[in-house]
Structure 1
Amino acid sequence: MKKLIITEKPSVARNIADAINAKNRKDGFIEGDDYVITWAFGHLLQLYDVKDYNQELKGWRLEYFPYIPNEFKYKIKSSDRNREQIDAGAKKQVDIINALLLREDIDGIIAATDDDREGQIIFDEIALYLDIKKPIERLLLNEWTNDEVKKGLQSLRSNTEMGSLQDAGFGRQLADWLIGINLTSVATVKYRADESIKVLNVGRVLLPTLKIIYDRDKEIEAFKETSYYKLVSEFKTKEDSLFEGVYQENESEKFETKDRLELLQKELAEKEARITSKKVEHKKEYAPYLFNLSNLQGYITSKYKGWTSDKVLKTAQTLYENKLITYPRTASSVLDESLIEKAEKVLNAHKKGRPFESDIVFHTSKRVFDSKKVESHSAIMPTYVLPRNMNSDEKIVYEAVVNRFLAQFMPVAEYEETELVIKIDSELLEGVFLSKGKVELNDGWKKVEKITSKEITLPHVEDGDTVFVHKSSVNEVKRKAPKYHSEKTLLREMENCGRKYKEDDAEEMMLAVLSGFSIGTPATRAETIKKLKDVGYIEIRGKSLACTELGKMMVEKFPVKELFDLEYTGKLEKTLADIEKKKFSKTDFINMMIEFVIKSVNDVKGAAGFGAHTAIPDDVEVLGLCPECNSPVVESPKAFGCSNWKNGCKFTIWKDDKYIASFEKQVSPEMVKLLLQNGRVGFRGLKSKKGNKFAAYFYYGKDENTGRYNWKMEFID
């Protein structure tokens, strides 16, 4: 009997086949003595669209939404070229997998998709769709080297143990469907005034990411250029050595006006000064932590032209599938302690022949190995497999990963920092001059990443020495506007949920244990940035990202503000992480998302349109404000309607309304004014069908089920 292994991609299937010496290659699978290996192409299946549940809902209309299926169903994914057709390659592979499942000589299944929640559901979708009855085991690997594959096949786990990971994956998928399908549909119908705009995309991760870019754009727009002033003096020692000092008062070197500094400058001419303090500190600079995906993407996109975070991910994924690096879609910056022995083996393979080989010493510092700070997957590191053929893009990413790994085991960089405090004996000069110098003592790990440090050398002086003012200047310094987001800074804010950060060790370690409180996941952030560009919400200018006009309109006018709230979105992502950790149930999460979607759809239906309201000529009377979008209601030849009709608002009261005419009344401008002002209009002297007279209030209300406005009547006693 044999086991059927199902992988996420053909390349992974080939890696497993190589490890177990399976050589019989057939159409859609590889067969060996004990295993048959087949594959998916990522997701072979997708959730039903609304029209798949009910063909009557094929066209997008406001009254069709919110749409919440009683049961979520799957189908073979659609073709990328024609969404109305099934992807022929996906259908063929599903049929191959199904045929293999039915073979009598196969008595068990091994799920070998990626070890994360997305990889889990890529397999589980297939298992549910094909109704697999045979026992299912799970292969969990962080790399696809021969040694790891063989070891993994000896320590399989039951797929039932993956229940919480499955719940988190399906929870993410269903939540994104509920939000994306419902709100993209109603937003497009409600706001599409320009026929060039085909679809207004709404997404759980898309909109908060757009908001980060929008906020930075607004900061730049609001920035007003201002200046501050500094007083800089050049001092001369008795040996005629020169060095600079900057004047400070109350520990600040910035002065808002230059008048006083110019007065002090005159006072300084040819004055003697005294060194009142000399501090020399020996400092250490540790290597940056190992890469997680976001940091790798930020490093590459900021260093090399033409790179996007999506390109970095795809290149890293290729290196992973070629057995050269470990799993790239990780949020961790350290390694699990169980990898100590493996890391030493990898280090020994990669240090050979390096010019700094003798400096590399293996150690087990917590800066490298710390299981408490690993979230699902360890940091990215090379494997022991050495590359043979790589293209130029693969070399860039691979060398970055290898060098960052080697840097961990190089000596710490060391430098000496000197600070001089200089005082001039003058009543006007209340403050002191400060001078700093830095001298590299040992470049250590910087040799690996070819980093050169800028040195500032100071002359040899001691506390109490006299120096002389050589010359002084008052310098104007213009405050710089904030910079547009780059992919590097955007990825960091997505990872940190928009909270401010500093690029220091403590912060980087904090990021390693955020426990999911972020926007998106390492695997999806690059795709989100790409989609923002593809749907027309942002544009890329060199390495800078900025909102388009459409993107600005989405942020400013789309009424579901929770989807722009970074904290709200971070909490949703944290909830998915908690489902994975069995701290929250998938059912409760989906129910919460259904309530959110129902409310949000109704908010969109009742909101104002995107475009500017139609200009109302001075000679046209405004009768009131539209209850749908708050735009002016005006009279036309046949009706009283919303002036915002071009942006999709359909609020209309027809002049020849048959219901009002049945009471022998007409819809007049005065009636519409009262109705819009008070929500109702009263009539006396109405006649019933029997000829009896009565009085009543008339209301023009919206049916929440159909979205249409209807008249309702209430008798007046």
Structure 2
Amino acid sequence: MSKAVIIAEKPSVAKNIADALHIKKRSDGYYEGENYIVTWAFGHLLQLYDAKDYDENMGKWKMDNFPFIPNKFQYKVKSSPKNRDQADSGAKKQFTIIKSLLFRDDVDAIISACDYDREGQVIGDSIIYNIKAPKQVYRLLLNEWTPDEVLAGLEQIRPNTELRPLQDAGVSRQWADWVIGINLTSVTTLKYQKGRGQVLNIGRVILPTLKIIYDRDKEIEAFVPDKYFKLGAKFKTEKGEEFDATYMEGKEEKFKQKETLDEIRNALKNAHGIVADKQVERKKEYPPYLFNLSNLQGHITSKFKGWTSDKVLKVAQSLYEKKYITYPRTASTALEESLVDRAAKVLGAVKRGLPYEDEVKFVKTKRLFNNEKVESHSAIIPTYVIPKSLSSDEQIVYSAIKNRFIMQFMPIAEHEETRVTIKISDEAIKGFFAAKGRVQIIEGWRQVEKIESKDNILPFMNQSEQLEILNAKVTSHETKPPKHHTEKTLLRVMETCGKNYDDEEAVLSGFSIGTPATRAETIKKLKDIGYIFSKDKSLLCSDLGKEIVETFPIKDLFDLEFTGKLEKALSDMEKKEVSRGVFLNFIFDFTKKSVETIKSDKDVVLLHAAKPEVKKNEFLGKCPLCSSAVIEGQKGFGCSNWKNGCKYVIWKNDKYLASMKKKPTKTMVKALLKDGKALVKGLTSKKGNKFDAIMTYEKNTDNEYFGWKMEFVEQEKNKNEGK
């Protein structure tokens, strides 16, 4: 009986597919059932040749070797992370296994089940077309890995030839970035480093991103604050209730001249206020749109300390591979209209047991289900598979996605806004005082994340009512500089190429820096190569980053418009509107000209190498064995006197804590060293129940090592009460 080989992108996804098909038999590198064999890659199992693989003379960086553009791009098994000159042994073994499966006599079809995006297409195609097995090739296109979707998707597989435009865009992106990166990084380093050892990375996406941060830093540097003044007054109604109001002329409440406001303040002493106008308006507040990847990354990085957009993507990818959420690398904030029934099923699963469950009602709205606002992939939502246990990081990301989904089906929040205009009895005062009140009437979707509504209640007053002026004060203010970019604001600029699109327009324009899948990686790379650094949540340009922007002569690569057009061309290629040949010829021509420009640039400027940041070891407390400082290391919190044999350490992967789904934290270690005990919240029992406990870390009586002891918080509390 003939079989089909399904190639998944990762082992975890292969397991999901095998489970959906009820395949229990596992062999080395694949699962085998009656009709299907399920195997897997490890992401990019193959990579493009290095330059020296084409020509051994390229092993040494020499100006004369560039520009270098291969006549034909070739692939090899990915390199070992320990030795780039050797193939990764695990990848090589898996590639051999896949090859043997594809050439089996009982196999007549190959199904690529890699992620439904450019990269996924390239991962599957590079393996299949390098192996060249004479079998029919199909494509499984899924947005989630739940059993229902896997089975439904296998009924609707498409010939892989239909995905040629997606392959063209993926390969073009890969080849373009290789050509620009290899050529311009090498030539720039040779030109401006003169053998000083620091590689100067140049790339199609990293440079415009660097320029965004550089421009904001320069804007802040050049900012000169403007002084302005405001006049506020306290009024009293006929019923004796007090409230504050601000002086305005037209729509302006900020004034350049303090003297103008001083005169008005003096005139108020012999005057009273009159309620000239009172408007009460009921306003609706719709929930924020469903998450796309950039919005999810912005939400999490701005709300939680220590998160980066790269970390958000990794955690979301993990949730996706575990079947808990839909495909995360999406730019859309709406759902395809075909997902109505699936969304209703998901809502039924995720709303169970909520305190406001009765208020959650499924409705089909154009705001939520709209094909015109979906590009390639729908917004991120949960699946009907409810997680049994999640790590604390997974819980943060999953809850955000689940909550945002539930909000769409809650009542629309409503508040009442009252605006009062107060004229002054002295007719020489040409302006008026304004006061605004706000009262939440319907909490609606705001309950989901307990979003506090800040009510500002104005006292009741009638039209034409006379008001007593209790006091007035002129205050001095200064305009504030723009804020440094955060990951949230940077992602937004990258997503829209600095244009003022709304979410849907940005998605449909295709005009962006990078894709949802690559932006987090770009920000991380900029940090890793020392062009930018983080300070709290802000992103700033390093000295090296500034010098790159000010020195590197290929200004097109800093230009958002130029980069946006390249990304747009790749997006249009997926729609068959741009040909691969035209795009690549442009890239090759651009690279050749850029190399010549750099070679002929003035020789005087040498960029200095970025100094690696020296991390100061934070003192966490005194070692209980030898009183030396306990500091944080890469793998644990330990005594700084370890070289002399001190054994005190709390490992970050401590197995006892891991069994209760916890890791030691700085706060916990500080408490243990200071008080001998630490309150640890949110531990998980073997049955999955959450509990809090007082933990101590005590030296064993028979050796130099330490072990944990635990006392439940309830027991501790009862003991204290009995004292």
Aligned to 1:582: 576
Aligned to 1:136: 137
Q: What code does the residue aligned with 2:473 have?
A: S
Does structure 1 retain, via aligned residues, the 8 Å contact 2:532–2:542? yes
Amino acid across the alignment from 1:17: A
| Matching residue of 1:338 | 338
In 1: Cα distance, 2:439 partner to 2:56 partner? 74
Q: Report if the CA contact (8 A) 2:544-2:607 is conserved.
A: no
* Paired position in structure 2 for 1:484: 484
For 1:254, what is the secondary structure of its paired residue? coil
2:562 to 557, 562, 568: 568
What is the distance in 1 between the residues matched to 2:605 and 2:396? Answer: 46
Specify the code of the residue in structure 1 equivalent to 2:569: T
Q: Percent identity?
A: 56
Larger mean CA deviation between 317-326 and 225-234 belongs to 225-234
Query: Equivalent of 1:543, from 529, 537, 559?
Result: 537
Question: What does residue 694 of structure 1 align with?
Answer: none
Aligned twin of 2:244: 244
Single out whichever of 290-299 and 82-91 deviates more from structure 2: 82-91
Residue 428 of structure 1 and its aligned partner are, at CA, apart by 3.5
**Aligned residue number for residue 635 of structure 1:** none
| 1:81 Cα offset (Å) | 2.0
Deviations 1:547-569 (A, max 9, x none): 10110011111011111000110
Q: Which residue pairs with 1:499 in the alignment?
A: 499
Equivalent residues of 1:403, 1:448 under 8 A apart: yes
CA contact (8 A) 1:557 1:610 kept: no
Q: What is aligned with 1:385?
A: 385
* Contact 1:553-1:610 at 8 Å conserved across structures: no
- 1:174-193 Cα offsets, whole Å, 9 max, x none, are 11111111101101111114
- The 5 A counterparts of 1:422-441 are 422-441=422-441
- Which amino acid in 1 is paired with 2:295? N
Q: Do 1:110 and 1:137's aligned partners in 2 also have CA atoms closer than 8 Å?
A: yes
The one-letter amino acid of 1:518's match is S
Give 1:282-297 correspondences, 5 Å limit: 282-297=282-297
Q: 1 CA distance for matches of 2:327 and 2:370? A: 18
| 2:508 counterpart of 1:513 | yes
* Contact 2:223–2:481 under 8 Å retained in 1: yes
Q: Structure 1: which amino acid aligns with 2:44?
A: H
1:574-653 equivalences under 5 Å are 574-609=568-603, 611=605
Deviation at 1:257, TM superposition (A): 2.3
Q: Which residue of 2 aligns with 1:41?
A: 42
The one-letter code matched in structure 2 to 1:212 is: I
Change (3 A) 1:605 1:612: closer
* Residues 270 and 468, structure 1, Cα contact 8 Å, conserved in 2: no
User: What are the Cα deviations for residues 599-627 of structure 1, in whole angstroms up to 9, with x where unaligned?
Assistant: 1111111113473699xxxxxxxxxxxxx
**Contact 1:111 1:123 (8 Å CA) reproduced:** yes
Query: Which amino acid in structure 1 is aligned with residue 505 of structure 2?
Result: M
Contact 1:417 1:437 in 2 (8 A): yes
- Secondary structure (helix, strand or coil) at the match of 1:513 reads helix
The superposition leaves residues 498-523 of structure 1 with CA deviations (integer Å, 9 ceiling, x where unpaired) of 2246xxxxx23333433x11110000
| CA distance 1:23–1:219, change in 2 (3 Å) | same
Aligned to 2:14: 13
Looking at structure 2, the residues matched to 111 and 323 of structure 1 have their Cα atoms a distance apart, in angstroms, of 19
| Structure ID, larger Rg | 1
Residue 208 of structure 1: aligned partner: 208
Q: Distance in 2 between matches of 1:427 and 1:200?
A: 68
Deviations 1:665-685 (A, max 9, x none): xxxxxxxxxxxxxxxxxxxxx
- What displacement does 1:26 show? 1.2
Check 1:449–1:613 CA distance in 2 against 1; reply closer, same or farther (3 A cut): closer
The within-5 A match list for 1:99-110 is 99-110=100-111
Q: CA 1:613 to 1:555, structure 2 compared with 1: closer, same or farther past 3 Å?
A: closer
The structural deviation recorded for 1:225 is 2.4
Matched-pair contact (CA < 8 Å) for 1:270–1:470: no
Q: Which moved more, 1:330-339 or 1:273-282?
A: 273-282
- Give the structure 2 partner of residue 462 of structure 1: 462
Deviations, residues 375-423 of structure 1 (Å, cap 9, x unaligned): 1000000000010111100000000000000000000000000111111
- One-letter amino acid matched to 1:545: L
2:330 counterpart SS class: coil
Partner of 1:376: 376
Map residues 211-226 of structure 1 onto 2, 5 A cutoff. 211-226=211-226
CA deviation vs aligned residue, 1:323-369 (integer Å, no higher than 9, x gap): 00000000000000000000000001111111001111111111110
Q: Which residue in the other structure is 1:268 paired with?
A: 268
Instruction: Answer whether contact 2:573 2:579 (CA < 8 A) is retained.
Output: yes
Paired AA for residue 218 in structure 1: K
**Deviation by residue 1:185-229 (Cα, 9 ceiling, x = unmatched):** 1011111147252x1111111101001111111111111223211
Contact kept, 8 Å, 1:5 with 1:112, in 2: the verdict is yes
- 1:433 shift after superposition: 0.9
Does the 8 Å CA contact 1:403/1:449 hold for their aligned counterparts? yes
1:581 deviates by 0.3
1:332–1:375 CA contact under 8 A, matched in 2: yes
CA contact (8 A) 1:193 1:611 kept: no
In the TM superposition, what is the alpha-carbon distance from 1:87 to its structure 2 partner?
A: 1.2
Bigger Cα displacement from structure 2, 236-245 vs 419-428: 419-428
Residue number in structure 1 paired with 2:146 = 145
Q: Secondary structure at the match of 2:224?
A: coil
Number of residue pairs matched? 607
Contact 2:324 2:386 in 1 (8 A): yes
| Aligned-partner SS, 1:540 | strand
SS in 1 for 2:138: strand
Q: Which residue in the other structure is 1:68 paired with?
A: 69
Q: Normalising by structure 1, what TM-score?
A: 0.83
Q: Output the CA distance in 2 between the equivalents of 1:525 and 1:307.
A: 15
Structure 2 counterpart SS, 1:481: coil
1:450 matched to 2:447? The reply is no
Which of 548, 558, 572 in structure 1 is aligned with 2:552? 558
How far off is 1:128 after superposition?
2.2
Residues 612 and 597 (structure 1), Cα distance of their counterparts in 2 relative to 1, 3 Å cut? closer
Deviation at 1:13, TM superposition (A): 0.1
Is the deviation greater in 135-144 or in 262-271?
A: 262-271
The answer to whether the Cα contact below 8 Å between 2:271 and 2:426 also exists between their aligned partners in 1 is no
Partner of 2:682: none
Partner of 1:629: none
Return the alpha-carbon distance in structure 1 between the equivalents of residues 429 and 604 of structure 2: 59
Is the 8 Å Cα contact of residues 235 and 245 (structure 1) preserved in structure 2? yes
Find the residue that maps to 2:593 and give its secondary structure.
helix
What is the CA-CA distance between 1:282 and the residue it aligns to? 0.6
SS in structure 1 of the partner of residue 364 of structure 2: coil
Quick check: 1:531 aligned with 2:525?
yes
Structure 2 partner of 1:85: 86
Q: Cα deviation per residue 1:248-268 (whole Å; 9 max; x = unaligned)?
A: 113100111211111211111
Between 128-137 and 384-393, report the one with greater CA deviation.
128-137
Contact 1:323-1:383 at 8 Å conserved across structures:
yes
Checking the alignment, whether the CA contact within 8 Å between 2:548 and 2:607 is kept in structure 1 is no
Segments of 5+ residues of structure 2 without an aligned counterpart are: 609-723
Deviation at 1:134, TM superposition (A): 0.7
CA contact (8 A) 2:325 2:382 kept: yes
- Deviation string for 1:681-717 (max 9, x for gaps)? xxxxxxxxxxxxxxxxxxxxxxxxxxxxxxxxxxxxx
Could you say what the CA RMSD is over the residues aligned between the two structures, in angstroms?
A: 1.3
Which residue does 2:303 correspond to in 1?
303
Contact 2:247 2:433 in 1 (8 A): yes
> Which residue is equivalent to 1:123?
124
Q: In 2, Cα distance between the equivalents of 1:418 and 1:427?
A: 25
Extract unaligned runs of 5+ from structure 1: 502-506, 615-717
Paired residue type of 2:568: K
